[in-house]
Structures are given as C-alpha cells and as structure tokens.
Structure 1
Amino acid sequence: MSERSERHVPVMLQRCLDLLAPALADPGAVVVDCTLGLGGHSEALLATFPAARLIALDRDKEALRLSAERLAPYGDRATLVHAVYDELPEVLKRLSVPRVQGVLFDLGVSSMQLDEAGRGFAYAQDAPLDMRMDQTTGPSAAEVLNTYPPGELVRVLRTYGEEKQAKRIVEAVVKGRAKEPFDRSGRLVELIRDALPQAVKRTGGNPAKRTFQALRIEVNAELSVLQRSIPAAVGSLTVGGRIAVLSYHSLEDRIVKQVLTAGATSTAPPGLPIVPEQYQPRLKLLTRGAEVPPEEEVADNSRAASARLRGAQRIREDAL
C-alpha cells in the first residue's frame, strides 16, 4: 500500500459500514462507492462484506490509478469506473446491473487532492490554481477568476462559500486580474488577506477558506451534480437497499436532507383515512437528523470535524 493510502483515514468508517451492513450480507449484493478517492471506504466494504461486489466511481484519474493498486487483492470483486457520480444510472446500465443493495457517498474534496500541491485545492500552499477533480475537462479555478463577470463571481462566493465579504474580495480580484491574470493560489490567498478588514481576519481560521471552497464547488459543479446524484442513487436501490451519505458543509447536507426526507414522507393529500400505497413513503430514515463524528475521531482526524452523515433504506418501489 502506498504511503498516501496509509495517510488517508476514512471518515466515520465504522458507522458507514454499520448503516450499510444489513443490506450487504447476502451473496451477490452490489455496493457502489460513488466517491472512490483513495479507496479507504471501498477497501473496508470489500473486507467487511466478503460476499459483496463493489462498483466504485471517481472523476479523478489519479485517484482511480492509486485505488486500483490498493484494491488489486480483491480481484474482480471490484470494478473501478472513471465517471462523475451523477452518471451512476448510465454506469449501472453499462455494467448490466439493474439494482444495487448499497450506495455510499463521501462528498467534498479528497485527502489526495488536498495533499497534492500541484492541484491548487489547498490555500495553505502555493500551487497552480486548477481545482478540477477531473483534470482532463472543464475550466480551472484560474479561468473562473480571470473570466467571470464581477457579479457572477460575487454570486459564486456568496452562494457556495457563504462569504459575507464576497463583494470586497471580488473588487480586489477584478483590480488584480486587470494587471495580471491569476494563475497561482498563493497570490489569491495574499490578495484575500489584504482585502479583508482586520476584525474579519481575527476570526474563523484562514480567511481564504470560504473563497477556495466556493471556487472548488463552481469548478466541479458539485452542487448541481449532487442534486442529480442523490435521487439517482435512491432510484438505483433495490427494496431493502441502503444509502449512506457523508457531507462536509451545510450546502451539501441540505440537498441530501431534502431528497432523503422527501422520500421518507407520505405524498397523500391531507385527510385521507387510509393512505393508498402509491402515496406511502419509499424510504425509511436510518439516522435522526445528521450524525456527527465522535470527539475522539475528530481529535485523530481533523478532516472529520465538519462531517455530517445521513442514511436511509428503500422500503418500497416507486408508484406506477
């Protein structure tokens, strides 16, 4: 196993396994890891459920390469696919898998992407401003910074970074890019520090954190992909199948909550004495709200601090 794989600590691993376990015990069960990353969750799924088959997706070719090494001992029980997770229905169709018993999402940026300086995800080190999870396609963070109209940049920072100082930061970016286009993360971090009032810089950690989050979400279309992915994943579950989703900020968690809660809610008109089957919930929630990691896990793995976990079980087919 590579040093990088050893360094990667999967978040809330045992709880994810426990949530999915009842659906994965039978021979022939198929579980999908929609966010393979460095393969920590996938490896644990294969080791814990020896009768199960794994399908794992990632848009990052480097992650697929490293995980292929890590999961090689499991042979043909693991199928790794270069795809974004909203492509799950197409992937399953291509593999002739009509339904699956388990689905796991571990959202956000992976440890590998944060740790690899050349990717530009981390505000703590100077690197090319890329931030693409799939470096073969789409605009980079530098292109977003250098080409978006000011109003659109403000929207991105406010919506995806929940950045209260978005207008002030964008004004500085527009002045900066007029002199020289942005291409390095270090210059952006410095510009944000200079643009913000002293009072703001004294609270809440690195002042560039929210801007970097917003750019990453925009570059990778993370929220629009997620809005398609969670319903698609629920739709791929067989009755009795289970889904577990780890998110790392309120925007992601809100989308997950909305989809799972809607699936667990009756759609019957109010006042019916007996609810016909087509109106009854198709999901049962497995977590009370969003679960958070225990304090000892956060102490051991700082990246777990913002994690929120939700789970649900498919309890009936969709109404015809």
Structure 2
Amino acid sequence: MQHPFQHTTVLLHEAVEALMAADTTAPRCWVDGTFGRGGHSRLILSRMDAQDTLVVFDKDPEAVAQAHAIGDARLQVRHEGFANLSALPAASVDGLLMDLGVSSPQIDDAGRGFSFRFDGPLDMRMDSSRGQTVAQWLEGAELGEIAEVIREYGEERYAGSIAKAIVARRQERGPLTRTTELAELVAGAVRSREAGQNPATRTFQALRIFINAELEELQQALAAALAVLKPGARLVVISFHSLEDRIVKRFIEQHSRQHYDRRMPLAAEQPMRLRAVARIKPSAAEVAANPRARSAIMRVAERTEVAC
C-alpha cells in the first residue's frame, strides 16, 4: 500500500537480528508490539518459516490498514496497544519487539496534530478513532494539572509559565484548537531556548505522552512480557527519549538479578527472570541518513526461566 508520508525504520537490521537470535524450535511466534508502518514486521516475515506466526499490535487505524494489506497468512493483526500483550498465552512468544514513539507519517501528517511545525487540529491521539484529544483535555484541565503533565512528561522547567499562558488564553479568547496556536503560545512563555530545539518540543512531547498514556502502557507491556515470553526468548525495545529508556533500563535491571522479600527472610530467593544482552545506538551513518534516529536507544534482554 502506498502512503503519502514516508517512514524510515530505525535500527531495522539490528533490531530484527537481536529479536530472532534466540535458539528456538519451530513453529515460532514473534510479536511486533508497534507495527507502525511495518518496516520491522516485513523484515521479520521475510525471515520466518512457513509455520511461524507474527502477531502485530497497533492503535493507529492507518497502521492497522497497512498491516492487513500485507496479505500474509502468517500475520495476525490486532487493533490495540501493546498493553494488551497479556491476552497472549503464557510462555508462547519467541521474541517481542517494541519500537516506541511516533512514526514519521504520524508526525508529518498535519491532520494528526503531533507536530508543532505544521498547522493542524490539536489532536495527538495514536488511535484517532477513540479517546480524548489534547484540545479537549486542555479545555477543561486545571492549571495545576497542565503544569504537572508538562513538567513530568516533558521535563520542561517552564511548565508553570506555559500552563498559566494556556489558562489565560482559554479565559480570554477560548480554548486552543490548533497546533500552531499552542506552539506560538509556548514560544512566548519559554524564557530561554535550547540550541537547535523548538521551544514547543517538550510541551508537545508531554501532551502526546499523557493523552496516549504511553508510559503507563509501556510499564504494563513490560510486565506482560515476563509472562508471555518463552525461556530463551528475546525482548527488544527501542526508545526515543529518556523517560521511556529509564523505564526499560530499570525493568531489565530489576529482573536481571535474584532477589528475595525482606519482609519474609525465610522465603526462597526469586530467580532472575531476564538477562541483559545489549544496549545499541544507531551508527553515525544511520543518523546522518535519518536524523530522527539520533536519540534512539535499543535495549535487548533474554528471558531466563519459565514464566509463571
């Protein structure tokens, strides 16, 4: 299927090599938790055996349509987020890939409202068929709520000033409805700017993460991964900002060591459930060819014992 907006998959070969490196027996089940525009999934399919299965998740209706258009009997498509990984059978998955963040077509399509560079409706929903838009949330949110979201999810030091400007604008001229309106308002509220970065970058990131519950879903998906991965199966996660990567890093570290409940000193130690394998960043050549890859970090871990 052709699409007017192009997407270059980040860490394409590195991710698929890491995912499919496990020594497992057929038939195998692979999972792409974020189909996006299908770069990773298509390469996985090209390396699968006839009896293997690839299950893909995505909340974006356009991504789901592109996945269905592949027309491969080995492909199972789910129009839902990867937080629903827990619906898969226990210890049934040979490898799980999660490529986090927003795809280039989502950013470049002004109608989706993700970008401060293009004028469009202030939407930002990953699943445009359901849920509250950013504009709808900003229309009714309290000043403190807005400031907290921008501060926590955008790590924005001027969160308070931005929130005050949003509320003042709402009271004076009505709610914000367009991306450029918000970008201009933020630019006026931010007193200093990071070199090479639009002043609205952190605010747009924060609102997108919040409205899509991205960090909460990531935590749910990681917890589910422990249950659905087979022993020896790989977990591969590509993140694009520090909030995501911190969650993934801590999760892998937490489950890569034996531990026991200090409240029950006689209880048996809980065995380690993951083994950290690698931390990989895009090459200089990839970043030069695709600047959106520059912040990517890929972490790889391996399931070590039978899921409960």
For normalisation by structure 2, the TM-score amounts to 0.92
Match of residue 277, structure 2, among 286, 289, 308: 286
Partner SS, residue 172 of structure 1: helix
- Residue among 162, 171, 185 paired with 1:169: 162
Contact 2:258–2:271 (CA under 8 A) maintained in structure 1:
yes
Paired residues of 2:19 and 2:234 also in contact (CA < 8 A): yes
In the other structure, the counterpart of 1:29 is: 28
Instruction: Determine helix, strand or coil for the equivalent of 1:311.
Output: strand
1:67 CA displacement = 2.6
Identity fraction in percent: 40
Deviations 1:272-308 (A, max 9, x none): xxxx7x5321211111xx3211111011111111101
Q: Which runs of 4+ in 1 moved over 3 A?
A: none
Closer, same or farther in 2 for the Cα pair 1:137/1:3, shift >3 Å?
A: closer
Superposition deviation, residue 53 in structure 1 = 1.5
- The alignment's C-alpha RMSD in Å is 2.0
Contact 1:238 1:314 survives alignment (8 Å): yes
Aligned equivalent of 2:187, options 186, 193, 196:
193
Does structure 2 retain, via aligned residues, the 8 Å contact 1:169–1:196? yes
Matched, 1:267 2:250: no
**Which of residues 232, 242, 249 is equivalent to 2:234?**
242
2:174 match: 180
Secondary structure of the residue that 2:30 maps to in structure 1?
Answer: strand
1:86 counterpart = 2:79: no
1:149 Cα deviation (Å)? 0.4
Q: Does 1:64 align with 2:61?
A: no
Equivalent position SS for 1:279: coil
> Quick check: which one's helix share is greater?
1
**How far apart are 1:240 and its partner, in Å?**
1.1
Question: Structure 1 residues 217 and 139 mapped into 2: Cα distance closer, same or farther (>3 Å)?
Answer: same
Distance apart, 1:268 and its partner CA: 4.5
Shift of 1:262: 1.1
Shift of 1:257: 1.0
> Residue 213 in 1 paired to residue 205 in 2?
yes
SS in 1 for 2:20: helix
Cα gap change, 1:18/1:194 in structure 2, threshold over 3 Å: closer, same or farther?
same
| Residue 105 of structure 1, aligned match among 98, 101, 106 | 98
Q: CA deviation at 1:49?
A: 2.7
Q: Secondary structure at the match of 2:26?
A: coil
Residue 27 to residue 86, structure 1, CA distance change in 2 (3 Å)? same
Is contact 2:96-2:234 (8 Å) kept? Answer: yes
Tell me whether 1:309 sits opposite 2:298 in the alignment.
Answer: yes
Structure 2: runs of 5+ lacking an equivalent: 263-267
Partner Cα separation in structure 1 for residue 82 and residue 74 of structure 2: 20
Unaligned runs of at least 5 residues, structure 1: 271-275
Partner of 1:141: 134
Give, as a single letter, the amino acid of the residue that structure 1 aligns with 2:133: S
User: How many residue pairs are counted as aligned between the two chains?
Assistant: 302
Counterpart CA distance in 2 for 1:234 and 1:298 is 32
In the alignment, the residues of structure 2 paired with residue 192 and residue 268 of structure 1 have an alpha-carbon distance, to the nearest angstrom, of 48
Q: AA paired with 1:201?
A: R
Distance 1:100 1:184, change over 3 A: same
Within-5 A mapping of 1:11-26: 11-23=10-22, 26=25
3-state SS in 2 of match to 1:23: coil
Match of residue 124 from structure 2: 131
Given that 1:106 and 1:247 are in contact with CA atoms closer than 8 Å, whether structure 2 keeps it comes out as yes
CA contact (8 A) 1:37 1:112 kept: no
Residues 67 and 168 (structure 1), Cα distance of their counterparts in 2 relative to 1, 3 Å cut? same
Return the letter of the residue paired with 1:42. Answer: S
